[in-house]
Amino acid sequence: MSSNVASTPASTRGIETVHIGFVIAWFLCAVFYFMQYALRSAPSVMMPELSSAFARDVVGVSVVVGLFYYSYSLCSIVVGAALDRLGGKAVIPGGIVLVAAGAALFGLGSVEGAQIGRLLQGAGSSCAFIGAAYLATRGFPPRYLATAIGFTQCFGMLGGAAGQFAVGRLIHSVISWQQFWWMSGIGIFVIAVLMFAATPKEQGDTAASQGSWLTMFAPYKEVLSNPQSYLCGFCAGLLFLPTTIGDMIWGIPFLHNGLHVSYAEAVNRASMVPLGWVIGCPLLGYLADHLGRRKPVLIGGALLMLVSCAGIFFLPAGVAPPYVLGLLLGIGSGAAMLPYTVIKEVNSDKVKGSANGAINFLVFTFSACLTPLYGKLLGHIARGGAMDMAVFRGAGAWLLGGIAIAIVLAFFLRETGPRGRAAG
């Protein structure tokens, strides 16, 4: 069965029935996406332990943790092109092994091991969402494709929530933080083995698989010469910051040190943001499809982010219910995924894979560059003192400014929804 699928052109496969081999591979890749998102957010619940192990303050630890986004953004460009040239069986298991190795290195407890480990985790994790989308296009008929990709994103966001909610409990009652990383590495390596065994072998059926290695990057010329691609990337990148930096790195220190809630309660509240993504991503995607317009839903979600984020930073303690604002911020953050749809629709069909790689690169370059800057901003405002509520509010104002800029950029995006194109 695998050989028949492998030799079938992609254009033909799209109109056929479900291909079980690719569906199984997609499911395993979605599980990997869950795991890598858990590892991405897990450091936020072990900041005191990491600070002690690395002999660095929380700002220094945040710089180490943020290395993930450097390799993630750079490798996103390579992965999209490599999948087209080599196929999922040759690329995705290798990426999963990198994450497994990175997890084991991070668990060694040394700064050097953690730095290399986070870079490996970021590099391998770039295969997760792009790889799952690639496998979904080969496993599902077109009428189920959006649903499959939506479920993939839900897997990732559930992993982000688990990386805070579940891991926080594990490392403070059942296992040590180092054991968590070692056990995660073993589990992820098992996924790599299963992935390699389950993924059907493909024979190149695209132009990218037939030319030189340099030709596989040719589609990026079209994507990156389109100004709309940059608007999509910048808009999504700014909307990701309140979750990638504000919640997954600094959410628990903010709640614990700024609002003076217990550490366990801080973990519970911080996990509401990725849990909100689980709701917001499919909900806002459905609204955009139902309305036939992307921009109103994108702007509406960003406004919800702005209001809820402002409430988190500036409302007096006790005014809003403890878990509501974080959940609303996560739901609104689902808007950050809409530019991923728009960038595919503002570029031609033949470069959709490269468009996905390009926006991943742009989005996570924002996180890579601004993670250490945000930590330095907190340190600058604190001026050597404690990081209290005033410090977090001062830095949080910059996150609010980023959301506001994203809203302005959204107005300049081309409306690519069916009703918007018809009206135009």
- % the chain with pLDDT above 70: 90
Distances (CA, A) of 43 to 48, 184, 267, 286, 315: 10, 13, 11, 32, 27
Assess if residue 22 is contained within a domain.
yes
Q: Of all residues in the chain, what percent are helix, strand and coil, respectively (each to 5)?
A: 80, 0, 20
Between the CA of residue 62 and those of 35, 58, 248, what are the distances in Å?
20, 6, 10
End-to-end Cα distance, the chain? 46
Minimal CA–CA distance to 157: which of 245, 33, 73, 46? 33
Do 174 and 27 lie in one domain? The reply is: yes
Report residue 230's pLDDT band, with 50, 70 and 90 as the boundaries.
very high
Per-residue pLDDT band for 198 (boundaries 50, 70, 90) equals: very high
Contact predicate 249/163, CB 8 Å:
no
pLDDT in tens, 233-244: 999 999 999 988
Asked whether residue 336 falls in the same domain as residue 382, the answer is yes
Give the domain-ending residue among 148, 169, 199: 199
pLDDT band at 421 (very low <50, low <70, confident <90, very high): low
285 in a structural domain:
yes
Q: Is 233 exposed, middle or buried (0-12, 13-18, 19+ CB in 10 A)?
A: buried
Q: Which of 264, 142, 194, 239 is nearest to 26 (CA)?
A: 194
* Lowest-pLDDT range of 125-129, 330-334, 347-351: 347-351
Per-residue confidence band for 210, with pLDDT thresholds at 50, 70 and 90: low
Report the half-sphere exposure of 15 (CA within 13 A, side-chain side): 3
Kindly state whether residues 394 and 265 are assigned to the same domain: yes
Tell me: do 109 and 224 sit in the same domain. Answer: no
User: Which range, of 28-37, 106-115, 197-206, 366-375, averages the lowest pLDDT?
Assistant: 197-206
pTM over 0.85: no
Amino acid letter, 69: Y
146 and 236 fall within a common domain = no
User: Would 207 be classed as within a structural domain?
Assistant: no
Residue 357 lies in a domain: yes
pLDDT in tens, 44-71: 888 889 999 998 888 888 889 889 988 9
90-116 average pLDDT score: 94
Give the pLDDT confidence of 363-419 residue by residue, as tens digits: 888 888 888 889 889 988 988 778 888 999 999 999 999 999 999 999 999 998 777
Same structural domain for residues 246 and 104?
no
Judge whether residue 223 has pLDDT over 60: yes
Q: In this predicted structure, what is the pLDDT of residue 329?
A: 95
Same domain? For 37 and 104 the reply is yes
pLDDT at 146: 58
Q: Rounded distance, CA 377 to CA 326, Å?
A: 23
Our measurement of the distance from residue 298's CA atom to the centroid of its chain's CA atoms, rounded to an integer in Å, reads: 17
In this structure, are 226 and 189 located in the same domain?
Answer: no
- Tell me the average pLDDT across 93-122: 95
| CA nearest neighbour of 284 among 240, 336, 352, 322 | 336
Percent of the chain with pLDDT over 90: 36
Q: What is the pLDDT of residue 11?
A: 41
What is the domain extent for residue 168?
17-199
Do 232 and 195 share a structural domain?
no
pLDDT digit string (tens) for 156-168?
888 888 887 788 8
Q: Are residues 333 and 192 in the same domain?
A: no
| Domain-located, residue 377 | yes
pLDDT for position 142: 62
Do 262 and 375 belong together in one domain? yes
Mutual angle of helices 324-333 and 227-244, in 10-degree steps: 160
Q: Note whether 388 and 282 are same-domain residues.
A: yes
Q: How many domains does the chain have?
A: 2
Res. 424: pLDDT tops 60? no
Looking up residue 304, the CATH number of its domain turns out to be 1.20.1250.20
